[in-house]
Amino acid sequence: MQFETIRYDLTDALAVITLDRPEVMNALNTQMRAEITQAVAQAADAARAVVLTGTGRAFCSGQDLTDDATLTGPDLERILREEYEPMLAAITDCPVPVIAAVNGAAAGAGANLALAADVVIAAHSAAFMQAFTRIGLMPDAGGTWVLPRQVGLARAMGLALFADKVSAEDAARMGMIWEAVPDVDFDHHWRARAAHLAKGPTKAFKAVKRALRSSFDHDLPAQLTREAQLQGQLGDTDDFQEGVAAFRDKRAPGFTGR
């Protein structure tokens, strides 16, 4: 499949999706949202791990306010329901791990696009901003759901109301993202992290995603039941047998994803 606003690369079971509109800091328009949705769906069937990253000095600056769409209230609602929701669902429902490698600014919906991933790794020069109130809006693209769960209500409220820029290092300290790494190490680091996932026990990673993402809907007894069910399934995988054999042999496991 040919894409125009993103680049898609699949190598060694790792799919890298690169937002590629650097002239507008990778702002999201209708075509880019559709292409991200399609690319993640394609990667879900072909890869064992997925990375979202950006070209140039930004990860994603959010909604493209120069897009042809008329930005009225009803139109904003339609765009969120018909374009953003499928894109975010493709990421959160992707069965394999998704990393957001945030190379630069992530603002507004661009910040929440990154936070939809399972793991966020950011360069020290990157920053996150819930910029919505600066143009008279409120956070969307999942921001009002994910932020309170990651950083707590008090911080989420401050981030949303004041629209302050948060450095990658501060984002890591407050639990918004997984880690921030020096720019000089960034590319090598996220690629190594992604390769680890692409070569790992894929069925176990899928189970981790399912268990953690559904945990907010369960009380403890229900979650314990879910854990037991999923663990029972993993006990019948080739990767579990390989993991045990490697442990006994004191060697690195060679997981196949089966």
From first to last of its 258 residues, the chain has per-residue pLDDT tens of: 789 999 999 999 999 999 999 999 999 999 999 999 999 999 999 999 999 999 999 999 999 988 655 466 778 899 999 999 999 999 999 999 999 999 999 999 999 999 999 999 999 999 999 999 999 999 999 999 999 999 999 999 999 999 999 999 999 999 999 999 999 999 999 999 999 999 999 999 999 999 999 999 999 999 999 999 999 999 999 999 999 999 999 999 999 989
In the chain, where does the domain assigned CATH 3.90.226.10 lie?
6-198
What pLDDT score was predicted for residue 2?
85
Range 202-249 classified under CATH 1.10.3470: no
pTM of the model: 0.94
Distant-in-sequence, close-in-space partners of 208: CB < 8 Å, separation ≥ 6: none
Do the Cβ atoms of 46 and 10 come closer than 8 Å?
yes
Kind and range of the H or E element at 111? helix 109-115
In the chain, where does the domain assigned CATH 1.10.12 lie?
202-249
Q: pLDDT digit string (tens) for 4-21?
A: 999 999 999 999 999 999
Pick from 124, 130, 118: nearest CA to 103: 124
Do the Cβ atoms of 211 and 230 come closer than 8 Å?
yes
- Name the 3-class secondary structure at 51: strand
Topology of the domain covering 6-198: 2-enoyl-CoA Hydratase; Chain A, domain 1 (3.90.226)
